[in-house]
Amino acid sequence: MPVPQNRGLVSRSLLRESAYRAIRDAIVDGTLAPGERLNDGDLVAWLGVSRTPVREALARLEQAGLVQTKPGRYTIVSPLDVRAVRAAQSVTSAMHELAVREAVPRLDTVELDAMREANARFADALRRNDAEAALEADDTFHRVTVTACANEAVTTVLDQFTPVLRRLERLRFSSLSGRGSVAQHDRIIALCAAGDVEGAVAATRANWQTLLPLLEAWPVSSEEPGSGARGGEQTQSRDGAPFR
């Protein structure tokens, strides 16, 4: 069987995406802390890839606001920045409102049932204080309308800015402040099922605005890179290998 001519391109693309997602997830879940120094060699050893996909992943993460680089000096996980998170919240909320506006006339029974099932898993995760499962179920819930709206621009913007909110959402879903989202999701579903576009958009806006109060208590780091409480520590990856 002949080998496809673009096989190498596909492999490189998968490596880039895999490296990006692994580093992004480690930042979002706190494995890599705000202000943590990122060393190319350690990331290469951890991920088992060459330097090229690692550097491309870091450049993409810098564009998304999760990494900061000063050429010749350091690359670090971005410190917690209220302004950046607030901007990301505003953009993300607007994109989800647009997705709902465009999706409501297209939603069918299967998609509405998918939203209900995701919200049931979301509620169960919150009862078990499982922030990881809650985030996954919340993502699944909102992804239904994002997919249904079939607007690639919405997807592209959300892919860039949603990770910036993850550290905030993790805090929210680890506390009682996330419990109200179950009822808000139910209201969004009911309005979508009724074909009430404006009502569903307003309910979606209200749901995303529940993140705003957490910003008031959001800790901001003013320390130099690597000088924080973890600055002298060896940070462990999920498989136990040090990042630096």
Top CATH class, 9-77: mainly alpha
Residue 29: pLDDT band (50, 70, 90) is confident
Report, as an integer, the average pLDDT of 148-154.
97
Residue 38: pLDDT band (50, 70, 90) is very high
Query: Rounded distance, CA 114 to CA 121, Å?
Result: 11
The percent helix, strand, coil of the chain (3-state, each to 5) is 65, 5, 30
Q: Inter-axis angle of helices 51-64 and 152-173, to 10 degrees?
A: 80
Read off the pLDDT of residues 106-134 as tens digits, 9 standing for 90 and up.
999 999 999 999 999 999 999 998 888 98
Q: Is the pLDDT of residue 175 over 70?
A: no
More confident residue, 54 or 224: 54
Read off the pLDDT of residues 60-72 as tens digits, 9 standing for 90 and up.
899 888 899 888 7
Q: What is the CATH number of domain 82-216?
A: 1.20.120.530
Residue 75: pLDDT band (50, 70, 90) is very high
Residue 180: pLDDT band (50, 70, 90) is confident
Using alpha carbons, select from 166, 178, 200 the residue that is nearest to residue 124.
Answer: 178
Q: Is the pLDDT of residue 238 over 70?
A: no
Residue ranges per structural domain of the chain? 9-77, 82-216
Predicted TM-score (pTM) above 0.95: no
Q: Is the pLDDT of residue 239 over 80?
A: no
